[in-house]
Amino acid sequence: QIQLQQSGPGLMKPSQTLSLTCAISGDSVSSDSGAWNWIRQSPSRGLEWLGRTYYRSERSEWFNDYAASVRSRITITPDTSKNQFSLQLNSVTPEDTAVYYCARDLSDGYKFYGFDNWGQGTLVTVSS
Protein backbone atom coordinates (compact mmCIF):
# COMPACT_ATOMS: atom_id res chain seq x y z
CA GLN A 1 0.00 0.00 0.00
CA ILE A 2 1.40 3.34 -1.05
CA GLN A 3 1.51 6.17 1.47
CA LEU A 4 2.65 9.74 1.00
CA GLN A 5 3.58 11.70 4.14
CA GLN A 6 4.00 15.44 3.84
CA SER A 7 6.07 17.64 6.11
CA GLY A 8 6.94 21.31 6.23
CA PRO A 9 5.98 24.60 7.85
CA GLY A 10 2.46 25.96 7.78
CA LEU A 11 3.09 29.66 8.39
CA MET A 12 5.30 31.87 6.30
CA LYS A 13 6.04 35.52 5.70
CA PRO A 14 5.95 37.20 2.29
CA SER A 15 9.16 36.86 0.23
CA GLN A 16 10.23 33.67 2.02
CA THR A 17 10.79 30.31 0.31
CA LEU A 18 8.17 27.62 0.83
CA SER A 19 9.70 24.16 1.31
CA LEU A 20 7.63 20.99 1.60
CA THR A 21 8.69 17.35 1.51
CA CYS A 22 6.70 14.25 0.56
CA ALA A 23 8.05 10.93 1.88
CA ILE A 24 7.05 7.86 -0.12
CA SER A 25 6.40 4.38 1.26
CA GLY A 26 5.25 1.42 -0.80
CA ASP A 27 6.75 2.73 -4.05
CA SER A 28 9.97 4.30 -5.30
CA VAL A 29 10.49 7.89 -6.40
CA SER A 30 12.54 6.50 -9.30
CA SER A 31 9.88 4.00 -10.39
CA ASP A 32 8.87 3.92 -14.05
CA SER A 33 5.24 3.52 -12.99
CA GLY A 34 4.76 6.93 -11.46
CA ALA A 35 5.24 10.65 -11.55
CA TRP A 36 5.39 12.73 -8.39
CA ASN A 37 3.32 15.85 -8.26
CA TRP A 38 2.55 18.91 -6.18
CA ILE A 39 -0.94 20.40 -6.26
CA ARG A 40 -2.50 23.18 -4.22
CA GLN A 41 -6.07 24.14 -3.44
CA SER A 42 -7.57 27.43 -2.37
CA PRO A 43 -11.09 28.89 -2.50
CA SER A 44 -10.01 31.50 -5.04
CA ARG A 45 -7.99 29.25 -7.39
CA GLY A 46 -9.56 25.83 -6.88
CA LEU A 47 -7.32 22.84 -7.53
CA GLU A 48 -4.12 24.01 -9.18
CA TRP A 49 -1.41 21.65 -10.43
CA LEU A 50 2.07 23.05 -9.73
CA GLY A 51 4.45 20.53 -11.23
CA ARG A 52 5.94 17.05 -11.25
CA THR A 53 9.12 15.04 -11.41
CA TYR A 54 9.57 11.53 -12.79
CA TYR A 55 12.24 9.09 -13.90
CA ARG A 56 12.35 6.96 -17.00
CA SER A 57 14.88 4.14 -16.84
CA GLU A 58 14.98 3.54 -20.60
CA ARG A 59 16.47 7.01 -20.94
CA SER A 60 18.24 7.08 -17.56
CA GLU A 61 16.84 10.53 -17.13
CA TRP A 62 14.75 12.63 -14.75
CA PHE A 63 12.04 14.86 -16.15
CA ASN A 64 10.27 17.90 -14.70
CA ASP A 65 7.15 19.73 -15.82
CA TYR A 66 5.94 22.94 -14.19
CA ALA A 67 2.81 25.04 -14.42
CA ALA A 68 3.33 28.28 -16.30
CA SER A 69 1.85 30.27 -13.40
CA VAL A 70 4.73 29.35 -11.07
CA ARG A 71 7.48 28.26 -13.48
CA SER A 72 9.81 31.13 -12.57
CA ARG A 73 9.58 30.35 -8.83
CA ILE A 74 9.28 26.58 -8.47
CA THR A 75 11.66 23.63 -8.15
CA ILE A 76 10.63 20.01 -7.56
CA THR A 77 13.49 17.75 -6.58
CA PRO A 78 13.64 13.97 -6.08
CA ASP A 79 15.77 12.48 -3.31
CA THR A 80 16.45 8.81 -4.08
CA SER A 81 18.47 8.26 -0.90
CA LYS A 82 15.44 9.14 1.25
CA ASN A 83 12.77 8.04 -1.26
CA GLN A 84 11.04 11.40 -1.20
CA PHE A 85 10.54 14.51 -3.29
CA SER A 86 10.40 18.16 -2.37
CA LEU A 87 8.76 21.39 -3.41
CA GLN A 88 10.44 24.77 -3.24
CA LEU A 89 8.45 27.87 -4.12
CA ASN A 90 10.36 31.13 -3.94
CA SER A 91 9.20 34.64 -3.09
CA VAL A 92 5.81 33.67 -1.69
CA THR A 93 2.98 36.17 -1.36
CA PRO A 94 -0.42 35.94 0.35
CA GLU A 95 -1.72 34.65 -3.02
CA ASP A 96 0.24 31.44 -2.34
CA THR A 97 -1.88 30.68 0.73
CA ALA A 98 -3.45 27.28 0.09
CA VAL A 99 -3.59 23.63 1.09
CA TYR A 100 -0.66 21.92 -0.62
CA TYR A 101 -0.83 18.25 -1.62
CA CYS A 102 1.68 15.80 -3.00
CA ALA A 103 0.33 13.00 -5.20
CA ARG A 104 1.44 10.09 -7.33
CA ASP A 105 0.41 10.10 -10.98
CA LEU A 106 0.03 6.47 -12.07
CA SER A 107 1.80 5.72 -15.32
CA ASP A 108 2.59 2.77 -17.57
CA GLY A 109 5.80 4.49 -18.57
CA TYR A 110 4.20 6.36 -21.45
CA LYS A 111 0.75 7.53 -20.47
CA PHE A 112 -0.46 9.03 -17.21
CA TYR A 113 -3.66 7.87 -15.52
CA GLY A 114 -4.45 10.40 -12.82
CA PHE A 115 -3.48 10.87 -9.20
CA ASP A 116 -4.21 7.62 -7.41
CA ASN A 117 -2.45 8.40 -4.14
CA TRP A 118 -2.37 11.69 -2.24
CA GLY A 119 -0.62 13.09 0.78
CA GLN A 120 -2.63 14.36 3.72
CA GLY A 121 -2.34 18.01 2.72
CA THR A 122 -0.54 20.90 4.39
CA LEU A 123 -2.21 24.26 4.98
CA VAL A 124 0.35 26.95 4.16
CA THR A 125 -0.55 30.48 5.20
CA VAL A 126 1.48 33.43 3.95
CA SER A 127 1.02 36.46 6.14
CA SER A 128 3.09 39.31 7.46
Partner 1 sequence: SYVLTQSPSVSVAPGQTARIPCGGNNIGSKSVHWYQQRPGQAPMLVVYDVNSRPSGIPARFSGSNSGDMATLTIHRVEAGDEADYFCQVWDNTHDHWVFGGGTKLTVL
Q: Which of 32, 42, 49, 73 binds partner 1 (CB under 8 A)?
A: 49
Q: Using the rule CB under 8 A, is 114 a contact of partner 1?
A: yes
Report the site for partner 1 in 69-98 (rule: CB under 8 A).
Answer: none
| Part of the chain binding partner 1 (CB under 8 A), chosen from 9-17, 42-50, 80-88, 89-97 | 42-50
C-beta atoms surrounding 3 within 10 Å:
12
Buried b (16+ CB within 10 A) or exposed e, 75-101: ebebeeeebbbbbebeebeeebbbebb
Q: Which of 3, 15, 113, 125 binds partner 1 (CB under 8 A)?
A: 113
